[in-house]
Every structure is written in structure tokens, then in C-alpha cells.
Structure 1
Amino acid sequence: MRLLFLAVLRPHTGNAVTAERVRDHLEAAGHICILKDAFDFESPSEIANLIAAENVEAALALHLYRGGRLLQGHGIPFGVIFGGTDLNEDVNQGEKNKVMGKVLEEARFAVAFTKSMEEMAQRQWELQQSRTPPLTGMPSFSAQVREINQSADNLHVFLLICGLRQVKDPLYVVDVFSEWHQEEPNVYLVIVGPEVDPVFTREVKAKVRRTAGVRLIGEMPQGDLHAVMKSCFVVVNSSVSEGMSAAILEEFVQLAKRLVRDPALEKEIVANGREYVRTHHSWQAERDTYQRLVRMLEGSSGH
């Protein structure tokens, strides 16, 4: 089956990586998956022309508003995948909320990354449970702890991976980490990511230059990034849209200090994290789920 897959494909982002992985799952099942950047299209009419030119039989969209709205009314079956922006930001804007509701009415299935996202969507649009099956296999964006071979200096590197843009707010944790570094010089915060917003990037660079214990590294190849993740002490996440507060930040620093001083806790968290990934984020389970869902579209398109 020839599938159109719309997603936001900004380089070096989670969206782009997820889209490539999903495409691989679908092509492994024998489908032809035409992956396009949703931001390249301004109206459904442009999508109609693409559908005709590529002889598309069904479609999939990552993000209901950014991609799903472009798939409405074309007469081909489609499914949608909730993105974080859908449920953390766009749902709070009246017109976008209404559009996403209409997309869900037409979509043959909707996928939620986690159970909490599924429940949030159900509350917003009163969906039946069968409409938004929870999908195991998506990468979690929560902080992840990795085992580390400590260097001679007993360094503890906290790694924050994000594009330099306001919504990720890498400066959120800079000051508290700098204070901690002055107390314990072996603790560092390293920020890694591409320069997405030029104006904000200048602000981040200026801040980091005058802040002790914080380093900024530009984007790097995926393989190198994975190696850095394996060698650091903790991977950290920050996001304005996920509603973090100063109270949460203070609690995080207290727990981070405890983690540095308690090797047994580190091992416990690592073991629990691995078990959680094995149970809830299985790559094979993700592949099986997407291939099963797309078979629903195949049946709907008459094949």
C-alpha cells in the first residue's frame, strides 16, 4: 500500500527521529511510505495534488493539528499520532482544539505515546478507549539515568539534550547547577543541541560564558550523541510546555545531590529504568502495533 506520512521534520528533533523510525516499521511490512514535512504544505488542496500525483491510498500524521488537519476531506483513510505539542500547547487554543476534535472524528485510529497522554486526550474529546490505543515503544522524554565509569576526577556530568529554543528553556537549570558546582566542583551541566532559534541561542551562549560549571556543545552526529549519553551520569529534560515550576526544580536538585552520594540508589534507578523500557517501550511491540494499525487503513481503502 502507498502511504503518505506527514510529520514535522525539523532536523535533529525527536519528531524527525520518531517519523523515520515509524516509516521503517511500515516499510518493513512491505508498504511504500512517502514521508513529507507538514510545514511544506499550507493547505489541504496541496495535499490533494500530492495524493493524486503519488497515487496515495492511505495516510498517517504525526501531530493532529500540524499534520492531521491537512488530511481531512480527501477520501482516503488515515490515522494520527498525538504529539506532545497537541496535548501540552495546542489543546489550550480554542480554534486548534476544535480542529483537532474534527480530525479525530475522521481518523480511523489515534495513537498516544503513553497512558497519561491517552487519558488526557479522552478527557478533552470524550474518546472511546478503542479510539486511542496506548502505544508502547515510543521513547520516553523523562530524565533517564545511565551507569557511568567514573573518571579519575569522579566527575558527575548532567546532560541536557535540546534544540536551543524557548520552549525547551535550557537556561532553567543553569543557575542552580552553577551554585551546586561551586559547592562541588566535580558536578557539571552540559547542554547539547542545534541552534534552532538564533536570538535565543545568543542568549544561551552569553549566559553559559559567564556561568561556572556549565558547558555548551553544538549539535553532533547521532552516534556520537548516543556515546555521550552512555558516558554521562544523568540525562536531563527541560520543557516550558510541560509545566515545570521552581518547586520542582528545587526538589530535582535535592534528589540529584542524593543520587551523586548514593551509589546504591543509582544502581536501583538504572535497573528500574531498564526494566521499565523493556516492559513499556519495546521496539518490537512498537513495530507490531504500527503494522497492525496500518492494516486497518488497508482494509478501509479496499485492499
Structure 2
Amino acid sequence: MRVLILSPTAFPRVSGNAVTAERWRRHLHIMGVDARVLGTEGMGPGELDRVLEGLEPDLIHVHHVFRAGRALWQGNGGLSQGIPLVVSPGGTDLNLDVNSSQRRRLMELLAARARFLVVQSQEMEARLLECFYQLGPKVVRVPKACAWFGDEAFDIRGKAGVGPEDFLFFLPAGVRPVKGNLEWLRAMEELHRLRPHVRVVLAGPILDPSYGQRFLEEVRRLHGFARWIGTIPPWAMRGAYEGADVVVNASFSEGLSNVLLEAACQGKPLLASDIPGNRWPVLGSGQEDPCGLLYDPQDPKDLVSKALLLVDDPGLGLRLSAAGRARSFQLASPLEEAASLASIYERAVTG
């Protein structure tokens, strides 16, 4: 079977969407599925049609309904009529784009064409049905996996000038408003005032130029304790996590963060914004011990108070670390994730 995965971004670009799509591609290949990933951001008119002519896919998997799916309506994808579709909504689809009437309409059209809609968490399934209750029969859940793309060493402390005696918070995320990089950095200034040995390192590409400019200005202003180190290659992320004391997700909207799953698997305590997409990876389903703390993204004081707990209580960090490692054994393997997708693809094509 030949499958074309449309994603807003694709390797070698670094983003959560690109990482997810590449994880799928690599493990689908092991399952015997010939999958190709095409990044849709910046795609020129007719480019998708040319790819479809050359690849002749049996199925198209649209990963992120609006950001990837709009390629089918922007002078691309004329040849896609009749090709079965599988769609996997992103966090911004269901938390932000759904509030725009124009974007919601495009999402409804694409969902109507899709044979199946794939979600990777209970929270995303509930939100999808809240927004589009009529799609219930099409919704299938595929548990999300964690995979590493390499074991290259990455000395995050050395690169950022962080000493062994410093307490390091690490926020890896593309720099754009929905990821909350700037707001989190500003709030951490108060934590550094209270605990001068705290350091913060942020990593990820600048994805929004205006927001990125303001972010870089704050990094320069707060250079005494904060560093932005640009993009870390995916094959070095495992090494980067090793140097952190706490790994952070500061998003205002999230589906299910690769970063939180990866960091928990590495035994790193998590500090994450209290939004629906972050609750399960941090707190579990109620039967597991938490592997991190949640904070109110609208309340900088709450962020500081939760961060102080992590700085001041080494025992808490050890308990959260152990819980994260235990949680990693409960996740689906990348091959199990790929097998579930392959089964859905087969049903979509033959049904």
C-alpha cells in the first residue's frame, strides 16, 4: 500500500508535527506500508498534484486538518478526488481553528470526505466529539508512541553556559504564540530572583517572526539566566533531555505533546501548562502516580509557585522521575502505533 501523509511540516524541519509524521513513516515502512511525508507549508500551486501523479497513493492521511488539509483547496489536490482520506486533527484544530467560521467550514468538508478520523488521546477524542458530535462513527483512537531518532550526545549545559550547580528548566518548542515561550520566559524572571541558581534554556525554531522578535528581545534582556540555543536536531533530543532538571511545556493549546512523552520516558520531571492536552501525560488516568506538575498558564504566580516546589524539594523530583519511567512502559510501542494505523488504512481503502 502506498500512503501520502500530508503534514504542515516534514523532516528535515523540526516541529512536533514533523516528528510525529516521521515516526509514523519509519515504522509504517517496517509494517510494509510505503509511506511518504509531504510538508504543506509553503507549498506552491500544483505541487500536490505533481506529487500525486508521481506517487499514485492508495490513501492520503491528512495530519492536522486545517494547516495540512487546506492544501487540498488551495490550487492543489485536484487529483485527490476519489482517493480515500484519513484525517488526524491537531490540538490547534480543535482548540483554536474551530472558532473561526471559515476554518471550521473547511474542517467540516474535509471530515465529511474522510473515512476515519484518528485521535491519539482520550482528551482529543472528547474534544473532537464536542465540536463535531456527528462524526462519532468515524473516530478511532490510536495510542501515541515515543520513538528516538538517534542517540547523538548533546551537552545542553555546556552549550548554554549552565554550571553543574545550577537548576535547569528546559523548554523545547517552536517559537510561536500558541507555544507560550515568551510568556513563560517572562514569568521565570521572578523565579530566578527568588532562586538565583535557576537557569532556563529554550530551544526550537522561530516560527512566527513578530512573536519571535519579541521573544529574542526578552532573551537578550534576561541573558543573566536565560538562553535560547536554536534548533536541536531530532537525533540529539535524547541527549539534550539528559542535561535538564525539569522539562517544560508552556503551550496554550496542545493535542498530545511529543516532548512530554519523551521527557517522561527519560525520567525527567515535567512542568506543564494546565490545559486538556497536557493533563494525561502529566497526571495519568488517575491510577498512576503523576510525573510532573501543572500550572495555570494565565497566572504567572502559579507557575512560579509550582516551579519553586521542583527547585526546593529534591525528593519530589525523584518521585516524579520514577513515575515517568514507569509510565514509559505503559505507552504503545512505535510498531504497535504503526500497526494500528496500517489497519485503519486497510479498512479505509477496502471499505
- TM-score, with length taken from structure 1: 0.84
1:192, CA displacement in angstroms? 1.2
1:121, CA displacement in angstroms? 0.5
Q: Which amino acid in structure 1 is aligned with residue 240 of structure 2?
A: V
What residue is the counterpart of 2:320 in the other structure?
Answer: 269
The equivalent position to 1:165 in structure 2, one of 165, 170, 176, is 176
Q: Is the 8 A contact 1:25 1:291 kept in 2?
A: no
What residue is the counterpart of 1:147 in the other structure?
Answer: none
The equivalent position to 2:250 in structure 1, one of 238, 243, 250, is 238
Percent identity between matched residues is: 29
Residue 93 in structure 1 maps to residue 145 in structure 2: no
What residue is the counterpart of 2:126 in the other structure?
Answer: 119
Residue 68 in structure 1 maps to residue 75 in structure 2: no
Equivalent position SS for 1:158? strand
Residue 188 in structure 1 maps to residue 199 in structure 2: yes
Equivalent position SS for 2:19? helix
Distance 1:33 1:113, change over 3 A: same
Distance 1:208 1:65, change over 3 A: closer
Residue 33 in structure 1 maps to residue 40 in structure 2: no
Q: Is the 8 A contact 1:113 1:138 kept in 2?
A: no
Residue 23 in structure 1 maps to residue 25 in structure 2: yes
- The CA distance in 2 between the partners of 1:223 and 1:61, in whole Å, is 25
Distance 1:31 1:162, change over 3 A: same
Equivalent position SS for 1:196? coil
Equivalent position SS for 1:252? helix
Distance 1:124 1:246, change over 3 A: closer
1:129, CA displacement in angstroms? 4.2
1:53, CA displacement in angstroms? 3.6
Aligned positions, number: 289
Q: Which moved more, 1:236-245 or 1:32-41?
A: 236-245
Q: Which moved more, 1:82-91 or 1:68-77?
A: 68-77
- The CA distance in 2 between the partners of 1:265 and 1:280, in whole Å, is 23
- The CA distance in 2 between the partners of 1:34 and 1:136, in whole Å, is 21
- The CA distance in 2 between the partners of 1:152 and 1:161, in whole Å, is 19
What residue is the counterpart of 1:250 in the other structure?
Answer: 301
- The CA distance in 2 between the partners of 1:228 and 1:262, in whole Å, is 23
Provide the aligned C-alpha RMSD in A.
2.8
What residue is the counterpart of 1:296 in the other structure?
Answer: 347
Q: Which amino acid in structure 2 is aligned with residue 54 of structure 1?
A: L
Write the mapping of 1:127-146 to structure 2, written as runs, cut at 5 A. Answer: 127=134, 129-138=136-145
Q: Is the 8 A contact 1:153 1:186 kept in 2?
A: no
Q: Is the 8 A contact 1:48 1:74 kept in 2?
A: no
Structure 1 unaligned regions, length at least 5: 140-150
What residue is the counterpart of 2:233 in the other structure?
Answer: 221
1:40, CA displacement in angstroms? 4.8
1:152, CA displacement in angstroms? 7.8
- TM-score, with length taken from structure 2: 0.73
